[in-house]
Chains A and B, each alone.
Chain A
Amino acid sequence: MSVSFPDKEKKRVEEIIEHYPQKKAAIGDVLYLAQKQFGHISPEVELYVASLLDLPASYVHQIVTFYTMYLENPVGKHLMLLCNNVSCMLCGAEDMLAKVEKKLGIGPGETTKDNKFTLWTVECLGACEMAPCLMIDDKLYGNLTVEKLDKLLDSVE
């Protein structure tokens, strides 16, 4: 097998498993760990995670495809999640999408040519009081205007 965790991550897998009376329950966090380590969950990574948890690879695949936050395919350096649920829509999410499309030249599901940004439109991020809002990687940005968004995109390294 060509993918494998370094020792530190291997230890972390053991720690995660300890939180549950059944090994299978650790799959969620182990997948996050794998995603961090390998960038996305390729079939090879699925196989590796399956071996760590004594599960069939097909089982791991089911989990990866059921949940939206496990990446089956590579994304750009930054993953942008633009909320377009009701409150954000009422407060201008469509203008935000148009701005991103114009400035970066990508639509939902696409990645910029320089591989810097991947854009997803997503459901309510639980931050409707800051509508319209988006996340870039693990950070939340709210109360956006077209101007603020423009500056924000420029500020991302």
Chain B
Amino acid sequence: MAKVKLITRFFEIEDANLLPIYEANGGYAAARKVVTESWPPDKIFSTVKAANLRGLGGAGFPAGMKWSFVPKDAEGPKYLVVNADESEPGTFKDRHIMLKAPHLLLEGAIIAACSINAEDIYIYVRGEYYQPTQSLERAIEEAEDAGFLGKNIFGSHKNIKVHLHRGAGAYICGEETALLSSLEGFKGWPKLKPPFPAVKGLFSKPTIINNVETLSYVPIVIDKGPEYFAKLGVERNGGARLFGISGHVKKPGVYELSLGTPMRELIFDHAGGVRGDRKLKAVIPGGSSCPVLTADEIDVNLDFDSLAKIGSMLGSGGMIIMDETTDMVKVLLRICRFYAFESCGQCTPCREGTGWMTRIMERVASGEGTSQDLDDLYDVAGMIGGNTICPLGDAASLPVLSFVKKFRAEFEAKVSAAKVPAASGKKSAGEEI
């Protein structure tokens, strides 16, 4: 359990974003092997399955298994879509990969495309990522010139083309079905599943969507072998991942750790501990939608199952550290505003609920709230989760539920200090706001 250098190895090699340097360091060996040895799809996804590589976009779905869901007898085009929308607050790892190791991502995408027989790969990059987009553009051009992309890749009969698609500022487009809608030229509105994208996805064709980091581990799995990768992590959580740590920490940044590493090790050893040697108050473990942890809960291992066991999530691996001076009410208000702004407006519970929660939190934060507000907040959050087409509803309600529950005293103090408005009476959340 500790720091490893699988993806980050390339961050430390100067100019590893350029093809000659990437290749000189073993780059494209895995893709070349898979293509020139004509690995059948089963061999690719069983290798990745054996490595226990989990989806690193947030949900942690086993990567190899997802690929095997594409119907073998499906006719016509199939697509691989790379989710490079990276907009979950606290998350910034994919940006580093695209800037410093764009070929690693391309190589992984080529292998994944081979596993589903896709000839077109779309990379959906968030609109604000100008430099990462340029880095990818250059890498794609280099790979095309070298014959690793385009027609007859690596001298084979395979054709694979990569298309870059820029997002335009909408968090919801990170959700896979919204992303596909957006790619097709629609508003980024999520769709009900089933049908799953693996059966009916982009342009109604079988489509696999993977996160940038997930795909970047694929060449490493092939190079080092699935056993090595699986053993590096813990049961069902293979290998490593990039943790992004920010907030009140001495050395914010990206750290690549094997899955199962103690959270304390990341915060205190690698990231240097809390800024100003203050006391730790709270940790958001994997992007702002994950339930918050108190300082007493950080003796947990960083893998999907361990965090799920204590009622939170490993999510995107974007960890936000808060010290003892942090105003939790203010942080929650900030989070509520985010989800209210980003709700796509399609489902009533999410569209209305995120607005209610924000207005209640504004009242609480400004010292005008009552303890009834805290109960209402809890109720509204409970009514959104699970009642929406996509998980943005859950993403909005989980922080509310966890903040109010775990820091209740701080919220109570805010509302009891507030002067109780005359004739407040009990009102339902709906009419009050």
Q: Footprint of B on A, CB under 8 Å?
A: 19-22, 24-29, 31-32, 62-63, 66-70, 81, 84-87, 89-91, 123-131, 135, 138-140
Contacts and interface: CB of A to CB of B under 8 A. Distances in A.
Contacts of A22: 184-185, 203
Interface stretch (B242-250, B256-264, B389-397): B242-250
Nearest to B127: A69
B188 interface: yes
Interface in B228-261: 244-248, 252-254
B129 A128 contact: no
A24 B184 contact: yes
Contacts of A81: 128
Interface of B: 77, 86-92, 94-95, 126-131, 163, 165-171, 182-188, 203, 244-248, 252-254, 284, 288, 318, 320, 322, 326, 330-331, 334-335, 338, 341-342
A135 B169 CA distance: 14
Given A68-B170, A69-B168, A27 B185 contact: yes
Contacts of A131: 246-247, 252
B90 A124 contact: yes
Q: Which of B86, B184, B246 has the most A CB atoms < 10 Å from its CB?
A: B246
A63 B181 CA distance: 12
Binding site secondary structure of chain A: mixed
A31 B168 contact: yes
Contact of A63 (B187, B248, B335): B187
A31 B95 CA distance: 24
Q: Which of B86, B171, B184, B245 has the most A CB atoms < 10 Å from its CB?
A: B184
A126 B91 contact: yes
Given A25-B184, A27-B185, A67-B168, A85 B128 contact: no
B17 to A, nearest CB: 17
Contacts of B284: 86
Contacts of A68: 168-170
B191 to A, nearest CB: 16
Contact of A86 (B92, B167, B254, B335): B335
Nearest to A88: B246
B213 to A, nearest CB: 13
Nearest to B124: A28
8 contacts: A28-B166, A66-B187, A67-B168, A90-B248, A123-B171, A124-B88, A124-B288, A126-B95
B166 A85 contact: no
B130 A138 contact: yes
Contacts of A127: 92, 95
Q: Which 8 A-B pairs have the closest CB atoms?
A: A68-B169, A67-B168, A128-B246, A24-B185, A69-B169, A124-B89, A138-B130, A87-B246
Given A25-B185, A90-B326, A131-B247, 6 more contacts: A20-B185, A63-B185, A86-B335, A123-B341, A125-B128, A130-B252
Contacts of A138: 130-131
Contacts of A24: 184-186
Contacts of A67: 127, 167-170, 188
Q: Which of A21, A26, A128 has the most B CB atoms < 10 Å from its CB?
A: A128
A135 B128 contact: yes
